[in-house]
Amino acid sequence: MSNEDRVVLALGGAGTVGSGVVKALLDRGFKVAVISRDNSKLEKLKGFVSPNTKSNLTTLVGNVGSVEGVEEVKQALLKSVGKITDVVSSLGFSWWQGGPPHTQPLKELQWVIETLLFSTFVSWKAFFPLVRDDPNCTYTFITGGAGEKVLMPGTGFLTVGAASALAFCQVLREEYPEVPCKLNQVCLLCAVKVSSNSPEHEKFMGL
């Protein structure tokens, strides 16, 4: 199957890491669909990708982190693009450095887990069936080094959330060894440079 025939759903495609993935895929001839709760991020993404590839980019406003929201936007996605051949998941955030655990309220830990793990699970459960039974399809998780160690003081909750997401990816690869679809994991052990006007400028990636 040629790149031009593939339709990639980029979960988290309007984020720091995801936007780079989207641009690279578009530049290589793929059609790409991106879902975000924030329409302003989708507009920013449209300005970031190469102008001659915009016609291959589909954007939808929706919440892939909630059970109700993901089913609604899933139907809108299929109506818009017809099929999905590949999914790339880079949901979450690039950085968290709120301080040591004893300074944090429970709701902060809940937010980190919800953002990094729960959204990954909910979206996987909704979109994996679209590619699961086709050997020509793929589902790829993008993770990072924060799941394996504490990157620096004050980033502990980031490690907890990232390790949970990393473990979930590993569980899926073990639980579905015979599934026709290719299950992949890409771990980025590097610094991620974001926009110079962003408060996260040149922070380490911690998905």
Q: What is the CATH number of the domain that holds 150?
A: 3.40.50.720
pTM, two decimal places: 0.88
- The least confident of 41-45, 48-52, 95-99, 202-206 is 202-206
Residue at 193 is within a domain: no
Q: Is the pLDDT of residue 2 over 90?
A: yes
Residue at 19 is within a domain: yes
Residue at 99 is within a domain: yes
Q: Is the pLDDT of residue 203 over 50?
A: no
Q: For the segment 65-90, what is each residue's pLDDT rounded down to a tens digit?
A: 999 999 999 999 999 999 999 999 99
Task: Give pairs for 110-117: CB < 8 Å, separation 24+.
Answer: 112/157, 112/158, 112/160, 112/161, 113/160, 113/161, 113/164, 114/65, 115/65, 115/91, 115/161, 116/91, 116/92, 116/161, 116/162, 116/164, 116/165, 116/207, 117/161, 117/164, 117/165, 117/168
Q: Is the pLDDT of residue 164 over 90?
A: yes
Residue at 17 is within a domain: yes
Band of pLDDT at residue 16, cut at 50, 70 and 90: confident
Residue at 182 is within a domain: yes
Q: What is the mean pLDDT of the chain?
A: 89
Residue at 39 is within a domain: yes
Q: Give the total number of structural domains in the chain.
A: 1
Domain span including residue 22: 3-188
Residue at 156 is within a domain: yes
Q: For the segment 99-144, what is each residue's pLDDT rounded down to a tens digit?
A: 999 999 999 999 999 989 999 999 999 999 999 999 999 999 998 7
Residue at 201 is within a domain: no
Determine the pLDDT at residue 145.
78
Q: Is the pLDDT of residue 188 over 50?
A: yes
In sign, the C-alpha dihedral spanning 187, 87, 27, 15 is: negative
Q: Is the pLDDT of residue 155 over 80?
A: yes
Band of pLDDT at residue 191, cut at 50, 70 and 90: low
